[in-house]
Each structure stands twice: as structure tokens, then as C-alpha cells.
A and B are shown apart, each in its own frame.
Chain A
């Protein structure tokens, strides 16, 4: 036979060529092919970590995270659109016809949300129907949502979150994440976020899990829980009182801070106008004009820590008490006033009433500007500068909230000898924040020590272990001797409420002490010059109770009240009274005065 063997050999060589080609594919492209195959055959799913909760000091949930189920469909996988539409439309609250149209014409991308945030009952019904009739293409996705069960309680302290799209990396897929954008949510974002887990599984060509191959699973680590010093009840009291004052006096904004002077814990912190932390962006925010956006953004400002203003008379006790402590003056030293106005060099200072002469405690209780000018003159600039800084003004308190302002205290070299000795004692030339005022005022209540104000008590890990414990009081420094602090509180500050400008802050049954403040607001006038604007004031009152062992210190400030009244003793003191009265009752502080005394 002609060439039979040769032809068989040629065909055999072709086969051998095929085998060689197989080996060649493996050696030349094996790794590339393997990694491409692995990419197409595996699916990676991220498991979101639950964002940690924010609790109040008694464990009430102020901010929490829920996994809310949402129903979606991939229309391309739906086998019988009419049947599926008719079975599911009533459960999902959709029109059967519309749903059918949607299923018939798959949009791009094919993933469509049918109902976001479905209720538990509806979800159960949905899963029953899908399970019983084997409807392909429908699914449930759990989305993470941040909830604030107390509503608009302490929104400025809590802050709010935004949704962040975390880009996919080589190892993790893209996922949506909550990111704190303000308040505690922002300051403790890293602790609250936790660590997302992931699941890697082998899937078939239409992404169904292949059970014969092992799935890799890395569980998510949930975020930590932040426990605040805020007490939801006191916060509620504070917000209500502040809202009442806001309604009555129509200021540009109002802020209140309630502090435990013994420990430095912030019990409440409120600002009006406020916002809903669950929906910080008002409807239409993203299409709004720049102006409207700024208006929304101003409601996010936590004025109690982020805004500073000239404190006015409320600042007098800080200067006077230091002078007392150093023996520059004594409480009973009498100064000749000869009001209602008096010039100090090139500057004239006014009092609201014409006093002839006042003792130092009367200067405080009656809030005499001329008297404080005289005290300031006796102290001199070096001492004043030292006193101001001793009380912590001009630097942030470190309360633990983002965006805290340090206030403004001029560098000593820039002080003006002809103005500063009189301006500083009456709270001008200086700007302070509400949190600085209450903190400094605590010095009179706890034996002369400046406490570290705190808003976070501790951090609890996802397993219940304590990550951070901040519950111990921290002393910043001693400011006054214990005797001076006691004496000043009893002689000057109690008198201010009993007989002086702060009478409206008196609470039946408790010995309240405090100080009013009515500061002018500087601004640009019509000619563009910086000066005090007529009619613009900040009315404040800072006070505490009970006087023999102060448990609470409260500051209320109303910025530019526009309803006619503006004196701190008129606009702010009643709100402080309201807060003190209810807070003391809530804290079960025993009354220290017989009813009759208070009533007098």
C-alpha cells in the first residue's frame, strides 16, 4: 500500500502537535488565564459593618443603625413578567400593569429597586410568594440606615452622617458607607465605623453560587458605641426652655449649655435654630442656590462651641474674683462710682443706673461697668491678662466636639493701655464661646478648680468591652483658692440673683447664684466701619444651683434678640430658671432653702 505508514505518521504528528500546543498554552499563558478565570468565576460581596450607637449617659439610644430591607429585581431574569407582576404588585404597593411593563423592558443597568425600606410584614409576604412560586430575578438587599430615635434631640452634639461610596480596590468591592459629617458622628467616625467584612464565592455564569467550592468569609467588625455625658432628659428640658425663649425674643440664634461643675460633664448642649439629624439636608438642597444652601448649613452650626462673641458683663466675675484672690481688692472695698458715666482717660464708660458708691460684691450683683473699670485700673494690664488666661479663655476647652472655636484674646503686646484695663473687665475686646463661659464659671462652684469639660463618657467596643473610659473628672488647673471661690459665690453671685440683675433666675426652694450679661455686638455699619451697632445685643445669663453644693451650671445666650427686650436678666435668666428648676427636680437635688425665703 502506498504511503499508508507515512500518512498515519503525519496524522499522529498532528495529534502530537495538539499535545504540544496544550503544554505551550500552559507555559506561555497559564498564569494570565488562571487569573482571568478566577476573576470571572468568583463574586465578592462586602458585608457592611454596623455603625456603632451613640448613647446618652443613662444608656438611652440617641443614634443607632438599622438594617432596612429593600426589594430589587433584575428584569432580565424574570421568567414570566405578567405572573410575577400580578403576584407581587399588591405586596409592594405597585400597579400590576406598570410593574409588568418594567419587567418586560429591562432598563440599563438591569438592577432596579422596587421598594426601598420595606416593612417587616410586607417582606415576609414577599419572601413567601417568591419562595413558593420560585420567581427568579427578585431579591432582598439589606441597606444600612442611621436612625435617631429621639428625633431632634441634641442634633448639634450628635451631628449627622452622609453616604459615602467607597471605591472598589483590588481586594474589596465597592460599597456604600456611612460617614459622620458633623458632631460626635464626625469626631468619632473611625471608632463608630467598624470594619466591613467580605464574602468570596465561586459562581456560575449567571452568578449563582457553586456549592461544591468553598466560600471565603470574613465577618464584619461592628463599630464601637459612644456613651455621651449628655442626659437626654436634661437635654430635652434645655431645648424646650431655649425654644420658648427663642420664640419670645426672636434672636438670630440661641445657645444653652448645662454642665456638672464638679465633674466637667456636659449634661446638655442646645442650639437653635436646629435641624433633623436624620434629614440634615432639606428637600431640594442639592438643587438649591448657594444662598439657600448656606442657610441650611448655618442650622448645622453648634453655636455652643463653634461661635464666639463678646461676653459683656457676664465676664465681670472672672476678673473680680482673681483680683480678690490676689488681694488687689477685698469684697467689702468700696469704690466711688459717681455714675451714670465716668471717663477713664480718652474713654467714657456708662452705667444703666447712677450709683454713688458700691462695694465690690455690689459691683458684681448690680453689674456696674464703672465699678469694674475702677477695679480693672487697680489691677493693671499684666494681671488682667493673667486672669483671663487662667480661666482658659483664648484656647479651646477640648470638650471633644469638632469645630470648637478658641475665642479671641488679643496677644498681650497688642493690648491698648488706654482702653484695655477698662474693656477687659466688662467683657469687651475679647470673645468667648458658651462652653468656655460655663467651664470658667464652674471654678466658683467646685472650690476654685478649672475642670476639663467633657461630652464623651466612654467608648464600648462591639463585644461589650470598654475601649475608652473618660468618666473620671480631670482638673485643668487651680484658678482660685477654695476660700475665694466660696466667698465670691456666696457674697457676689448669690446677691446678683437675690437682689441684683438676675432676679428672674431664682428658683423656689433653691439658692441660685449667677451673673447676667448684656453685650453689644460689633459689626460693620452703613459706612463700613467696625463699631458697636445700636440695637444689637447678646443677652446672656450664667448661673448655678444650689449655692451650698452646686450641682448644675447653666448658660443661656440669645444673640441679637429682635423682639424689643435684650437684657440678659430679662431674656436669658427666665430660661435658666426653667432649666435649673426642672433639672434639679430630675436630679433629685434636695432643696436648700425654705419656700418662704425664695418667695420673698
Chain B
């Protein structure tokens, strides 16, 4: 999947179905093995070329795909005007493509003689559709002007506010009529569609948007009309705190923490892992926006206490924590999943068993196509493959940081930083869980793990990030 301006070259082995989405202007070249028909959606003006390849060199290796794509040159270095930053779109496209391949691979099971369409829909096709939707959401958001979500005039914060209220409503709805799966109620079933919708995935994006908007809203007694960020710009010489400034507890800090707290709290009831992630992101955004350390010191113990309470109310969370700190592993109980993940990582070695050739996915590793997809990547593509995935996230974070640094306004800067930190933290949490560095909790690997809501909303988020990276003459 790639943005405008790059020419993808895709090599794939027999038995995989590449899905290629690319921007206008370039001609994708696809070399693929026999047996599958590639699906190509591309911009106008060029005809895709599909050439079947039978040589062993055409084995589909995702790392190669990445490297080949990175080496291609941008169309013109002299572009000074652009609608959005294509680099993050490209990186996320690679991650999504890898996700489709890996979810397809990990969803395989030993089946009976008969084929049925339901099974097929449940694994590769579904993720493919989600990824297409996510990519379209990303392109849509990239073409948006992110400033529609900003709070720059006195009353134009209503868009972010409405988004937040809708999210709160959905979170409440999922608690009341949600679909139960794996012991947690996280999904809202959409009537007529064979998949659900997970509001907690939306909640973490909305949290960042809302806080970015709220923390950069116009403060009182400012004469210049444009919204400004009080801390760094125009340091007031009298050192008084303006109304609405985050440094003011009653009008700035407290409303931010309260609104974010409600969002996080509603999420935390059923999805502790996401809530923890959101809590950390909230904290980081408050720090960045210049909240007083004394105020922050009040929030942290309260958050920890709330977290402890949530852990103690669910026995399986206690078990996971105990299992993590226990010296004697209980391989048939709480430690089973992480032990199987270790076996998957170990059995791949440095270079992996080959795409599709893993065995741990045959029922040994629970959640193999979801939270533990990285373990399957390590088994099939090796530790090197896993490191490449981590490197892609680092690249994404670096691009995110560059976009934030060059952002034209404060809202854009805070939004870009928030989204970058959110994506980086979620990836880091997931890698930490899979490598047994932190206790197991349900955190998926962004863009790669199976699941529609995550791909679509995170795609939307990356679109916003790209939009912040717009350049104007």
C-alpha cells in the first residue's frame, strides 16, 4: 500500500493474494506466483503490470518488500507544496500489508475436507477488507485539514467536543449491549454485518484529539484572535496565569483531567490494557503542554489507585500479574500463552521458518493473529523480521516527531506528538507483552494485528498526522 509518488515493486510467492492500493502517478509492478489474482486499486493514469513469476527468487519476503519500496525515489525533491506528508502513509501501508499477510498466515487451521466460505471470510478476506477501509480512512483524514478539529476561536471546539461525546455514548452503549467475547465486553455488533465495532479503539484516538484541542484552546484576555499556546508563546511578564491555561488548576488542568478521566474510566471497565495506554498518553500530553508538576503529582496516585482497584476486581488480571512475577512458571495455566509465544520466537531463529511455515499458529499460541501476531512474525520471518517491524515503528515515530516539529500551529504540534506517542507506546506495550517484559494484557500491535476497528481508527489517526505534515507555500 503506498502513497502517491512511490513506485511499489511487489514480489510474492504462490498462495498469497497481494492487495495493492496506490496513489496516482506511478505504475506498480507486481510479480506474483501462480494461483492468485492480485487486487490492485490505483490512481488514474497508469496501467498496472502483472507478470507471473515461477522462479524461486520470487519468494515473498516482507523485509525485501520494505527495503525495495524505501529505495525508490520520490518523484520530485523540489516539491514545496503538498497536502500531506506521504512518508507516514507509506510506512503504515507497509505495516498494513504485512498485517494482512501475517493474519492470513496465522489464521490457518487444520480443517476437514470441505471448504466453506465462512472460514475464508473469517480470516484473510476480512482483514483485507479492514485494511482497505483503514487505508481509505487514512487517505481521507490526510486530505482533511486537521484544523477542523482545533479549538481556535472561542466556540469552534464543538467538533472535537461532539466527537468526544459520541465516543462516550458508544463506550456506554458497549457496556450495556456489547458483544461478549473472550470474557470481555468490547464490541458493538453492527446489524447485518459479520463483525463488530470496538469503541475503545476510537476512544484512544479521540482522547488525543480532545486533549490537544482542549489544551490549546484560546485563553482568556487574549486580544489577538488566533488560538495560542500560553506557555511557550508570549510568556506573560507579570507571571500571572491566564484563565483556561493548563497551569491554572480550576479552569485549565482540572477540566482536562476530568474529561479525559471519564473517557479513560469508561474504557477501563472492559479494556484495561487500552485504558492504561490512554492514561499514560494523557499524562504525557499534560506534561508536554506544561501542566504544573504539583498538579500532576495529584493525578498520578489517583490513577494508580484506580488502576489497582480495576486489577483487583478481575481475577484473571491478578493471575496475570502473579504469573509474571512468579518464579515457578505454571505452563498449563496463566503462563501458557506467554510460554507458547516464547516457543514461537525461539523456533523461528534469526531468519525464521519462512512465511506460512510456522507451526505455533496451529492452535498452540492463543490470540496468534491478534495480540501475539509479533510472535508469529518472529516464528515465520525470524527475529530479524520482528526487529524490522520494530524498526518500522521507530521510523514512523521519527517521521511523527519531524511532523510535530514542523507543525504550523500549536494544535497541530500537540496532536502530532500525541498521536506519535500513542502509536509508539502501543507498539512498545505490545512488544513488551510478547517478549514477556511486562505482564500480559490485551494490547494489539497497531496496523498488524487482526481486527477492523484498530486498523480503521489508527489509519484515520495516521491520516491526521500526515495532514499535520502539510506544506504550504
Contact = CB atoms under 8 A, between A and B. Distances in A.
Given A19-B386, A37-B343, A4 B288 contact: yes
A499 to B, nearest CB: 85
Q: A7, A21, A22, A208 — which one has the most chain B CB atoms within 10 A of its CB?
A: A22
Interface string A3-22: 11101100110111111011
19 contacts: A2-B287, A4-B401, A4-B413, A8-B397, A8-B400, A14-B432, A15-B390, A16-B394, A18-B437, A19-B386, A22-B386, A26-B345, A33-B347, A36-B343, A36-B346, A37-B346, A204-B359, A210-B359, A211-B110
A25 B382 CA distance: 12
A204 B424 contact: no
A26 B349 contact: yes
Interface string A37-53: 11011000000000000
B435 A25 contact: yes
B346 A11 contact: no
Contact of B421 (A7, A41, A204): A7
B110 A37 contact: no
A7 B391 CA distance: 18
B148 interface: no
A30 interface: yes
Nearest to B290: A2
A55 B387 CA distance: 67
A16 B390 contact: yes
A25 to B, nearest CB: 5
A401 B433 CA distance: 69
Contacts of A34: 346-347, 349
A26 B390 CA distance: 16
Q: B360, B362, B421, B425 — which one has the most chain A CB atoms within 10 A of its CB?
A: B362
A19 B432 CA distance: 9
Contact of A208 (B110, B378, B425): B110
B287 A7 contact: yes
Contacts of B112: 134
Contacts of A29: 342, 346
Given A8-B401, A8-B424, A33 B364 contact: no
A21 B435 contact: yes
Which 3 pairs across A and B sit closest by C-beta, in order of nearness? A33-B346, A18-B431, A205-B363
A8 B420 contact: yes
A206 B363 contact: yes
A289 to B, nearest CB: 46
A31 B58 CA distance: 30
A11 B349 contact: no
Q: Determine the interface band of chain A, counting residues with CB < 8 A from chain B.
A: 35 or more
B288 A32 contact: no
Interface of B: 109-110, 112, 229, 231-232, 284, 287-290, 342-347, 349-350, 356-357, 359-360, 362-364, 378, 383, 386-387, 390-391, 393-394, 397-398, 400-401, 404-405, 410, 413-414, 417, 420-421, 424-425, 427-428, 431-432, 435, 437
A88 to B, nearest CB: 19
A120 to B, nearest CB: 25
Q: B357, B386, B410, B427 — which one has the most chain A CB atoms within 10 A of its CB?
A: B386
A213 interface: yes
A516 interface: no
A37 B400 contact: no
Given A1-B417, A4-B417, A204 B386 contact: no
Contact of A38 (B231, B284, B347): B347
A209 interface: yes
Nearest to A24: B435
B343 A8 contact: no
Contact of B347 (A22, A37, A210): A37
Contact of B378 (A4, A11, A22): A22
B346 A12 contact: no
A3 B287 contact: yes
Nearest to B422: A11
A34 B351 CA distance: 13
A235 B231 CA distance: 114
Contact of A212 (B290, B357, B387, B432): B357
B288 A7 contact: yes
Given A8-B401, A40-B364, A41-B359, A22 B383 contact: yes
B13 to A, nearest CB: 13
A210 B288 contact: no
A30 B110 contact: no
Given A7-B421, A23-B383, 14 more contacts: A3-B287, A8-B421, A17-B432, A18-B428, A22-B390, A23-B387, A25-B345, A33-B342, A33-B346, A40-B343, A41-B347, A203-B362, A204-B110, A209-B110
Contacts of B401: 4-5, 8
Contacts of A12: 394, 397-398, 424
B425 A19 contact: no
Contacts of B110: 204, 208-211
B346 A32 contact: yes
Contacts of B349: 26, 30, 34
Contacts of A3: 287-288
A326 B410 CA distance: 133
A4 B284 CA distance: 9
Contacts of A19: 386-387, 390-391, 431
B318 to A, nearest CB: 25
Contacts of A213: 357, 359
A76 to B, nearest CB: 15
Contact of A1 (B383, B400, B414, B420): B414
Given A1-B413, A30-B346, A22 B357 contact: no
Contacts of B350: 26
Contacts of B343: 33, 36-37, 40
A589 to B, nearest CB: 66
Contact of B345 (A15, A22, A206, A208): A22
B427 A15 contact: yes
A3 B413 CA distance: 13
A25 B432 CA distance: 12
A202 interface: yes
B351 to A, nearest CB: 10
Contacts of A16: 390, 394
A40 B344 CA distance: 11
Contacts of A15: 390, 393-394, 397, 424, 427-428, 431
A205 B357 CA distance: 16
Nearest to B111: A208
Interface string A147-184: 00000000000000000000000000000000000000
B287 A37 contact: no
B425 A11 contact: yes
B397 A11 contact: yes
Contacts of B232: 1-2
A11 B432 CA distance: 12
Nearest to B353: A213
Contact of B428 (A4, A14, A25): A14
B217 to A, nearest CB: 16
A29 B350 CA distance: 12
Nearest to B430: A18
Nearest to A211: B110
Contacts of A18: 390, 428, 431-432, 435, 437
A460 B360 CA distance: 47
